[in-house]
Structure 1
Amino acid sequence: MDERSEIEPAPLSRWITLPLGLVLTPFTFLCAFGSSTLLYAPNVPPTFASITISSIFFIGSLWVFYLSLRLVFVNPKGKSSFINPTGLRAFGLVFALIPIVSLVTGSFWDRPFVYGIMSIIYFGVTMKLFSIAKIREKSA
């Protein structure tokens, strides 16, 4: 059995991904449009923090919109990986940085029990993404 098939589930059939993509694409487009309006909202003063956060939301919305378009236009049984190993490691680093940023900003101490559990989950997600990236790199 392939090591990759042990981690990743079998791809969904085309009759599931196409309707799902057709439903999600307009919704994600509206989310991308809505997050783009955060960049030029008239009642928010353009500070560095507001522009940075709005840009992150906009880029994330565009990425989800791209994924929903892939549901419509890309065959799920294809041999191409959804995200390459470097991208998986980058996402893993983002998940690893979330608890560190919450400690630096002080939001961790608002609810230490909840944020402690979330930090453990983020660490688990980071380790899983790195292991998937390692397996994909070996099989490539």
Structure 2
Amino acid sequence: WNVYVFNGDGKQVLLDALEPAFSEASEGQREKVTGRILNAAACMYVTAKHFETDKGNRDALLATATFIQNVQLLLSEREIGMVWRTGGLFDDARLKEMIGAEGETFIGLLQIGKYDTEDIPTPKARQPIDSHLIMFE
């Protein structure tokens, strides 16, 4: 995988690279995305390298997703918040070209930062593990 980190003034580089994709977005979406990027302490644009085989691409996707999950767990231990965005706006070929990620598969934009414990959303109801588990005994 590759990780492109945008923090400090570097977040403006990400916003500039998003400009072509923004031209096709609504003004509301543009403002929402811009605010989220500027309010994050850092953004990580994560990609998987492209392979010639389906197996290689699947393995790269799974390994990269595992990496992201491990980053999320590490940040959580340190009481740092992370949001994993996968929206189409970030999978724009022009954005990839501008940051040097052409030919790579976009996996996610991670928005990282401290959070106010009063702003933690109510957890969503989760399905019990039994609804996903098939036992053979």
Q: Is the shorter-chain TM-score for this pair beyond 0.5, marking a shared fold?
A: no
Which structure would you say has the larger Rg?
Answer: 1
Identify, as 1 or 2, the structure richer in strand: 2
Structure (1/2) with the larger helix percentage: 1
Please indicate the TM-score interval, normalised by the length of the shorter structure: under 0.3
TM-score (norm 2): 0.27
